Amino acid sequence: MTETTHARVALVTGGSGGIGRAVAECLAQDGQRVAVHYAGNQTRAEETVQAIEAAGGRAIAVGGDVADENEMAAAFDQTEQAFGGIDVVVNTAGLMVLGPLATFDLDDLDRMHRTNIRGTFVVSQQAARRVRNGGAIVNFSTSVSKLQFPGYAAYAASKGAVNAMTLILARELRGRDITVNAVAPGPTATKLFLDGKDQADIDNLAKAPPLERLGTPDDIAEVVAFLAGPGRWVNGQILYANGGII
């Protein structure tokens, strides 16, 4: 059954955990209906939905491989059928595999780029077709593109492609009153970022920004909520949310 409401509706890819879950919950707190997307872990997505609804919000879980155009078309269909339309798409889904360029496994390169590049393209394509006038599309980049940490070449390259897509799509949607931006987090305390790092590396990264701490998923979610709501005059930009590290 389609819900009839004047509330804005958001689809958050990768919304079952980490930054994605924080974004989904933050948008729900702002009064948006939220479709929490997952690729493989439906249980975690349902937990996010339950947390949103326990706090008085409205949410559903939708599944699909972000790089598969048919599965994502179905996820967009489910969202529209449940809530009557889509106003905001936030594409947090991504993979990060690290290693020196000279020895990097090309299968890992292909797997990461399939999610980060093709996945962002597929989701952005659906969003460009479906988001209602007055809406917002928010992709996810990385501050590593400027920090240039060794070992991040493949990951940063994939996010460089995200930057290009974001900036060009903003211009292609001229006349639709739809903003298109990307958020580029710095070091953020998520499982994706912390895995494989020893405590000394984590401590050094925490000291790097003038605010002298790692970011949190909530820090990033607040930036997304601004772009997805009141930030209507910010368009075609890459916002570096990193506590001043660069």
Instruction: Tell me 62's DSSP state.
Output: E
Where would I find the H helices in the chain? Answer: 18-29, 42-54, 69-83, 106-113, 120-130, 144-147, 153-172, 191-194, 199-207, 217-228
Q: How many CB atoms lie within 10 A of CB 220?
A: 27
Tell me the C-alpha distance between 160 and 182, whole Å: 11
Helix H or strand E segment including 13: strand 9-13
User: Do residues 34 and 79 lie in contact, with contact meaning Cβ atoms separated by under 8 Å?
Assistant: no
Tell me which residues are annotated as active site: 155
198/167 Cα distance (integer angstroms): 36
Q: Residue 7: exposed, middle, or buried by beta-carbon count in 10 A (0-12, 13-18, 19+)?
A: middle
